[in-house]
C-alpha cells in the first residue's frame, strides 16, 4: 500500500526523561508521522468519514502525549504508534519523535519506528 497521510513537526509538550529536572517540567517534542492507508474510497466519495482524519489524529496524539509520563522516548513512540493503529484505519505507522532539549550541544535527538496493524 502506497497511500499515506503525512504529518510533519506536530509539536506538543510532555514530561519525559530520566533526569530529575526532566521529571519536573515539560519540554517540547516533535512528531513526524507517515500513516499508510487506502485512500481510494475517500477520493471517490469526498467524505471525511471515508478518510483518515488527520485533524483527529493530531488531537489524539497531542492529548495523549501531554498527559503521559514516560522516561524513555522509545516507550512514548511505541505507545503513540499503538494509539494510532488502534483508533484509526491505518495499516502502518512510521513515527519519528524528536526531543530538541535532550542534549545541550545537539539540535535534537530522536527515534524512528515503524509499526504495523
| Catalytically annotated residues | 99
d(CA 98, CA 11): 9
| Beta strands at 4-16 and 69-70: parallel, antiparallel or unpaired | parallel
d(CA 84, CA 89): 8
List Cβ neighbours of 1 (8 Å cut-off, separation of 6 or more): 36, 37, 38, 91, 92
Amino acid at each position: 500500500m502506497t497511500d499515506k497521510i503525512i504529518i510533519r513537526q506536530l509539536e506538543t509538550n510532555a514530561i519525559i526523561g530520566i533526569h530529575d529536572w526532566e521529571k519536573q517540567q515539560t519540554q517540547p517534542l516533535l512528531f513526524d508521522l507517515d500513516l499508510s492507508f487506502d485512500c481510494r474510497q475517500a477520493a471517490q466519495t469526498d467524505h471525511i468519514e471515508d478518510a483518515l482524519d488527520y485533524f483527529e489524529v493530531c488531537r489524539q496524539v497531542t492529548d495523549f502525549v501531554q498527559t503521559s509520563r514516560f522516561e524513555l522516548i522509545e516507550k512514548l513512540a511505541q505507545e503513540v504508534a499503538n494509539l494510532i493503529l488502534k483508533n484509526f484505519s491505518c495499516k502502518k505507522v512510521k513515527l519519528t519523535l524528536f526531543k530538541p532539549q535532550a542534549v545541550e550541544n545537539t539540535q535534537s535527538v530522536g527515534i524512528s519506528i515503524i509499526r504495523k496493524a
